[in-house]
Amino acid sequence: MEIESLMENIVNRATVYERHVVHTEFFTDTSNTIAYGLNSLWHRDVELDSFNSGFNLAVGCSHTFGIGVNNPWPSYFVNTYNAGVPGATIFDMIDIAFAIYQKKRYNRLMLFAPHGERLVVFKDGKAEALMPYGESFEDFKNIDLDTKMYYNTRSVNHLLDFCKNENIELQIFNYNSIGFLKEHKKLIVDKGADGVHYGEETHKNFAGLFNVKRKDTI
């Protein structure tokens, strides 16, 4: 699927995206200091066409998009496109990575994975995101853990094969895993303007996880 069609499908079913970005009053952020400038793909960056082949691609959810901060972690790197989407599942991220590669080839993929339990299912002929919280929790809890693990593992293995075949450098962190929180808990030091997501200093710390050339200033 082309990236334009894919993003339209994701945004149409991602009510979290509408609440976080379009209706910022849904948050406790009343500072009016955060500018969520979106391009034509609903990504928080300049247009994808402005990048030359060989760029870095950052994919993730709201913690990559940068809800509540002016400088999300991808903004610290040179030649890096931020394809983070609030509310995205691991499936969304991998689909986005594949679709962008079809449009413009990148050399490095940085994936900041969300809750491993976020799923995409088909209900009444439409794709629907299921989350371990909120409105979809009742449907979500009826899916057994083995099924959730199976789909996530299969998706990640597909991504690993893709990156190996295309000679793409891949770096993955799961910010919500027990291992990550145990090893990198000290990186999480503040909250963003919404009072929910990670703050400016935490994003700056997250940037240090990735082995990518930094900008002199942001």
Chain CA centroid to CA 51, Å: 19
Cα(51)–Cα(2) distance, integer angstroms: 17
* pLDDT > 90 in the chain, percent: 41
pLDDT at residue 106, rounded to an integer: 97
Please report, as a single letter, which amino acid is at residue 113.
A
Q: Fold for domain 3-205?
A: Rossmann fold (3.40.50)
Residue-wise pLDDT tens digits, 136-185: 434 444 544 444 444 556 677 888 899 999 999 999 887 766 577 778 88
List CB contacts of 162: < 8 A, sequence separation 6 or more. 97, 98, 168
Residue-wise pLDDT tens digits, 34-68: 878 889 998 999 999 999 999 999 999 889 999 88
pLDDT at residue 188, rounded to an integer: 92
> How far are the Cα atoms of 57, 90, 148 from residue 214, in angstroms, in the given order?
14, 26, 36
Q: Answer whether 192's CB lies under 8 Å from 133's CB.
A: no
Q: Which run of H or E residues covers position 174?
A: strand 169-174
Report the pLDDT averaged over residues 17-22: 49
- Burial of residue 182 (CB within 10 Å: 0-12, 13-18, 19+) is exposed
Neighbours of 19 (CB within 10 A): 16
Report the pLDDT averaged over residues 101-114: 93
**DSSP bridge partners of 58:** 82, 110
Cα(191)–Cα(200) distance, integer angstroms: 8
User: Is residue 7 very low, low, confident or very high in pLDDT (cuts 50, 70, 90)?
Assistant: confident
User: Is residue 23 very low, low, confident or very high in pLDDT (cuts 50, 70, 90)?
Assistant: very low
